[in-house]
Amino acid sequence: MSNELSPVDLINKHFESKRRCDQVELTNEFAEDVRCWPPASAERKGIVSCPIEGRERLVEHMTTEMYEEEGRTWTITHLFADGNLVCARARLHARVAATGDEYDNTYSYIFRVENGRIAEMWEDFDTAYAFEKLLAGHPASH
């Protein structure tokens, strides 16, 4: 019998690891060559590359670049799977790392799970709100 989590259980665990900024667990949840596809407009604004490639790069992005570690919460509102694809809708409440401003946004994700790890993920969110919060204090980016 395998100890491998089901795709839905893996994604539930993933959101808990993201909340805790647990770099070890996040690294274990991702395939080595994972790819994350944020909205293309985030790359055009210079916030992040699209795709984000490789687990070390993705873990760094998720845990240190965008939001303060303390007080970060993820609330999953919808979660369902079709085979190895898992869809999640979740709300993030955090503070922006650069400014300390409150951040509250809802995200939609599709995860592709292979061999018990997240191999690929796509994310969508309110980019206008995110850019307003994440680019505060950077007038050249507006």
pLDDT in tens, 6-65: 999 999 999 999 999 999 999 999 999 999 999 999 888 888 899 999 999 999 989 888
**What's the pLDDT at 67?**
85
**What's the pLDDT at 48?**
87
At 2, is the secondary structure helix, strand, or coil?
coil
- Look at the chain and report how many structural domains it folds into: 1
Enclosing H/E stretch for 10: helix 7-20
The whole-angstrom separation of Cα 24 and Cα 21 is 9
76's CB contacts (< 8 A; 6+ apart) are 12, 15, 88, 89, 90
Q: Is 1 inside any structural domain?
A: no
**What's the pLDDT at 109?**
98
The whole-angstrom separation of Cα 75 and Cα 93 is 8
Of residues 103 and 97, the one with the higher pLDDT is 103
**Maximum Cα–Cα distance across the chain:** 56
Q: Is 141 inside any structural domain?
A: no
Q: Is 30 inside any structural domain?
A: yes
Q: Provide, rounded to the nearest whole percent, the portion of the chain with pLDDT above 90.
A: 73
Question: Is residue 109 packed enough to be buried (19+ CB in 10 Å), middle (13-18) or exposed (0-12)?
Answer: buried
Distances (CA, A) of 30 to 21, 65, 101, 105, 133: 14, 18, 29, 23, 28
> Structural domain of residue 86, as residue ranges?
7-136
Domain containing residue 44: CATH number = 3.10.450.50
Quick: pLDDT tens for 63-72. 888 888 888 9
Enclosing H/E stretch for 35: strand 30-37
Q: DSSP assignment, residue 8? A: H
Q: Is 81 inside any structural domain?
A: yes
Q: What is the mean pLDDT of residues 66-81?
A: 92
Q: Is 2 inside any structural domain?
A: no
